[in-house]
Amino acid sequence: MKTAGLVALAVAVVALAVLGFNIITLLIAAGLFWIVVRRARDTIQLGRASAGAAGLFSATTASSIGLAPLFLYFLKIGAVVFGSGFVLLAILRADLVVRLHWLTDAQLLDAIAVSQATPGPFFTVSTFIGYLLGGWKGAALATIGMFLPAFVYVAATAKYLPRLRRSPIAAAFLDGVNAAAVALMAEVSWQFARAATNNLPAICLCLLSLFLVFRYKINSAWLVLGGAAAGILLHVLAHP
């Protein structure tokens, strides 16, 4: 979010996501849009520079869904998802909860909680979702589908990446997509907050976690473990 334009782009993406636009489409469209904006700005600046030079010259002269659809879904997600793993939350909720109805918000939150409480990258959430939808076979296929495209991409593009990093078009595309990714993370965080903070203890735990994160920069692993311990304690007190 380096400029006011990127902030405006992020706000627009949040609005479109709330209206139900496809998450992957929003990410790609944001990247392409920002390429156009950057090229237009560069053209204007070049025109001004040329005019200045000309003036100077003149002046100086799941379970029921089947294993194959489950594998193919996560293969698609692994092939197209961009940015932080938390961008994946927006995509998973839009697809699995809202569009396909394979999971509920609560089930998706449970899978996220388990993936955050175990070692490894956030994309291991695919393992737990696969298990919910298809047992152990579903867990294995979902995990393979999620991670396989990354290995293929790395092998196919390794020698081109240094050139890509120097490309102003690629840089503009990534700036636009990054702004959209931040916007989508904010939108899905709000949706999950509404689903997770559905009682007074949950609200208090959420506020305490926010305070510890922003005031003391507590490591997220301790927050996850503390939240789990608090949940167990509350359950024991409520069901002695």
Give 128-157 pLDDT, tens digit per residue.
999 999 999 999 999 999 999 989 988 888
| Contacts for 85 with CB less than 8 Å, ≥ 6 apart | 121, 122, 123, 125
pLDDT tops 70 at residue 44? no
Contact call for residues 146 and 126 (beta carbons, < 8 A): yes
Contact call for residues 48 and 56 (beta carbons, < 8 A): no
Kindly report the average pLDDT of the chain as a whole number.
83
Supply the DSSP string of 46-83, one letter for each residue.
HHHHHHHHHHHHHHT--TTT-HHHHHHHHHHHHHH--S
The angle subtended at Cα 67 by Cα 63 and Cα 103, nearest 5°, is 40
Q: How many CB atoms sit inside 10 A of residue 20's CB?
A: 9
pLDDT score of 47: 54
pLDDT score of 85: 65
pLDDT tops 70 at residue 45? no
Where do the domains of the chain lie? 4-196, 200-240
77-121 pLDDT per residue, tens: 998 886 666 678 888 988 999 899 999 888 888 888 788 767 777
pLDDT score of 122: 79
Ranking 20-29, 48-57, 94-103, 146-155 by mean pLDDT, the lowest is 48-57
Q: At what angle do helices 220-238 and 105-116 cross, to 10 degrees?
A: 120
